[in-house]
A = this chain, B = another copy of it.
């Protein structure tokens, strides 16, 4: 696939882009998008017309739509990215191996990112901009419903970037489903695949490539109300975790309640959840306290992404931790408690990317965390975990600077000794 070879070549040259050069290119891209708004909207209307003919759902239609407001939004997104620091070039550590013999661990781009994303044209803009800011080349495969919009956007972004000094081949658009399969086998050219989309899709990608994959599979988040919780706080945190925006991966799916506090807290919480029309499915013990449907084993494993909540009463902090480690997805889990040692135990032993104390699971988000930009949320345990910012698109290389040193000089009984002075 020539487009992937071109991206690999471009990725080498991208390592020498300056911060100023990259920010200049991002400005050029935002300007080009604004200048070509009419053309973009026209292309999007073709996609929308086809989508209507194909009778796609309202939700998908809304995501697909790319109008003046969306254009203003993505350009504002690019501008806030410009304002962020350059993730590349930072010295992560620096050691003097011997007098004047300096080892530096320097942050650098990964190389070529392969990104497969859903039918949201704004994702194309956002991802291209993140790749450029982190000096990575990028191959993009968007949803086929957005084909016309993606093609116009990719062309505008690519040309504006090249015009501002970004190397030829830095961005490639894949259009066919068969291109995804081809991409998965190109471990010589692609360094990291980031799939966005359904759980099944992410799993399919992981099962069909030996390239590293950064993606999250599920968001089965929990709140645990401990016996020492402030009851009003517990109700607020649980309500926010479930209802503030239930369609997303950081919303709570299962509530665990300590048996000693269940009778006090559950009726108040149930009343509040009822106002938001939340369907409750509880275990038998929960049904002894409030009126609700019966939860089965399957409920503990389900990401509803909806106004449905599973509730279980547990006997102890340890039972809560075990339940979460067994049924959770390693995304985000919170404890509400006034007991600091219980909170610390929870945060230490729950094996999730985000472990929260006395606050809503909905805070698990790159912008709320102050990362500036969010590449995605990783539930893997390698490279990056939880909300991933620009740093997640970087790795490091080791630079060793000497003046003729050989290992022979440091070998044997008469050999020089390493000093290993930490400079950073």
Most buried by B among A345, A347, A383, A400: A400
Give the chain B neighbours of A321 by CB distance below 8 A. 12
Chain A residues numbered 361-384 whose CB sits less than 8 Å from any CB in chain B = 362-364, 368-370, 380-383
Contact across chains for B103 and A369 when beta carbons are under 8 A apart: yes
Interface window among A122-130, A290-298, A405-413: A405-413
Q: Is A192 an interface residue (CB 8 A)?
A: yes
Interface window among A142-150, A205-213, A267-275: A205-213
Contact across chains for B103 and A401 when beta carbons are under 8 A apart: no
In the assembly, what is the distance between CA of A212 and CA of B95, in Å? 29
Which of B12, B401, B420 contacts A325 (CB under 8 A)? B12
A371 smallest CB distance to B (angstroms): 9
Most buried by B among A240, A354, A406: A406
Most buried by B among A325, A363, A383: A363
Q: Is A244 an interface residue (CB 8 A)?
A: yes
Give the chain B neighbours of A399 by CB distance below 8 A. 347, 355-357
Which of B212, B240, B397 contacts A385 (CB under 8 A)? B397
Q: Is A168 an interface residue (CB 8 A)?
A: no
Which of B233, B236, B349, B359 contacts A400 (CB under 8 A)? B359
From A203, which residue of chain B is reached at the shortest CB distance? B210
Q: Is A101 an interface residue (CB 8 A)?
A: yes
Contact across chains for A418 and B370 when beta carbons are under 8 A apart: yes
Which of B191, B210, B351, B398 contacts A387 (CB under 8 A)? B398
Contact across chains for B418 and A368 when beta carbons are under 8 A apart: yes
Q: Is A219 an interface residue (CB 8 A)?
A: no
Contact across chains for A402 and B356 when beta carbons are under 8 A apart: yes
In the assembly, what is the distance between CA of A369 and CA of B397, in Å? 13
Give the chain B neighbours of A245 by CB distance below 8 A. 407
Contact across chains for A240 and B370 when beta carbons are under 8 A apart: no
Interface size range of chain A in the complex: 35 or more
Give the chain B neighbours of A352 by CB distance below 8 A. 397
Contact across chains for B349 and A403 when beta carbons are under 8 A apart: no
Assuming the A-B contacts A244-B411, A411-B244, are A395 and B385 also in contact, with contact meaning beta carbons closer than 8 angstroms in the complex? yes
Q: Is A114 an interface residue (CB 8 A)?
A: no
Q: Is A262 an interface residue (CB 8 A)?
A: no
Q: Is A71 an interface residue (CB 8 A)?
A: no
A203 smallest CB distance to B (angstroms): 9
A412 smallest CB distance to B (angstroms): 11
In the assembly, what is the distance between CA of A236 and CA of B406, in Å? 7
Most buried by B among A239, A345, A355: A355
From A369, which residue of chain B is reached at the shortest CB distance? B103
Give the chain B neighbours of A103 by CB distance below 8 A. 369-370
Kindly list the 8 A-B residue pairs having the minimum CB-CB distance in the complex, ordered from nearest.
A359-B402, A240-B406, A370-B420, A362-B407, A233-B404, A383-B383, A212-B382, A359-B405
23 contacts between A and B (CB under 8 A): A12-B321, A13-B349, A15-B349, A16-B345, A97-B363, A97-B369, A110-B381, A212-B380, A230-B404, A347-B399, A354-B398, A354-B400, A355-B397, A356-B400, A356-B401, A357-B402, A359-B406, A364-B400, A368-B410, A370-B420, A370-B422, A382-B382, A382-B383
Binding site for B on A (CB under 8 A): 11-13, 15-16, 95, 97, 101, 103, 110-111, 191-192, 206-207, 210, 212, 214, 230, 233, 236-237, 239-240, 244-245, 321, 325, 343, 345, 347-349, 351-360, 362-364, 368-370, 380-383, 385-387, 395-408, 410-411, 418, 420, 422
